[in-house]
Amino acid sequence: MPRLITLGSLAALFFSSTFILNRAMSLQGGHWAWTSSLRFGFMLIFLIVILLVTQGKRALADVRDVFLQHWRFWILAGGIGFGVFYSLITFSSQYAAGWIVATTWQTTILASPLVLRLFGHKVPTKGLLFTGIIFVGILLVNVEHAALTGFREVLLSALPILGAAFAYPIGNQLVWEARAGHNPRIPQIHHPILENGFARVLLLTLGSIPFWVVLLLVSEPPAPARGQFLSTALVALLAGVIATTLFLYARHLCRQPYEIAAVDATQSMEVVFSLLGEIFFLHGAIPGPLGWAGVALTILGLIAYMRIQAE
């Protein structure tokens, strides 16, 4: 168990780089459209290299074939699950500190059961108390944010994150439905390459490209600075490659449901790491009493929720 907790916590540490670096780019004047689109441009390169090195050219050919056979589906799933999700996350970083974005992002725990219902699945009701605790914690963080900055800033940060919290599980669930083949409105995709996690992420990344092109054409951002290229590449490497690999590896090592719950619960540490990173690297303000209470309730609620789901 200590090994699993360590791996999961390391994954959370690397995942938190998203919130810290996005906030840093925002403070430096980097446009959010470039922050989001460049990240997935680098992700595309990294994933191609990883699959080529680990699986060979055949895997890339399989990804190409699966994408071309169902390109409309992948554009839909990638556009929602990666495009809408991440563009809203980066947009919110203009109006809130990274740790506030990280805390508010935990609403995806609350959104996921609703998304499952949207796809016609039954959702267990156990854990509702702890989702309520998570919601109260997030609410406290944003109440303090409103007191310090104003109601407009909270709306412009919290509402996009709420949209992202739904978009991410919708994109992932679309892929799950396609693999399961039970939904008549979604194409059935049973190719073996979908068993590879990196291949699935690559397919979604390819599908998100039209979204990024349209976003850049519509927003017409100024040219990105050299530092923005470096920062987005770091986010792609640290969060998109290293963190994902560590997290999936830790889950793969689990042998009991409570171990899976423990690994999943370590992701609540993203809030803590984002807060520490904001303070030490960006000289961000230390939260007040409401902020600390909100962070504590969010983390405790997440841990309790994950554990009860595994029982």
Quote the strand ranges of the chain, DSSP E.
Answer: none
| Average pLDDT rounded to a whole number, residues 76-99 | 94
pLDDT at 164: 94
Token pair 């390169």: residue: 45
pLDDT band, very low/low/confident/very high, at 310 (cuts 50, 70, 90): low
- Identify which of 289, 241, 250, 292 has the alpha carbon closest to the alpha carbon of residue 271: 292
Domain boundaries, the chain: 2-309
Tell me the C-alpha distance between 278 and 295, whole Å: 14
Q: Is 287 helix (H, G, I), strand (E, B) or coil?
A: coil
For residue range 118-138, what is the model confidence (pLDDT) as tens digits? 888 777 667 677 778 888 888
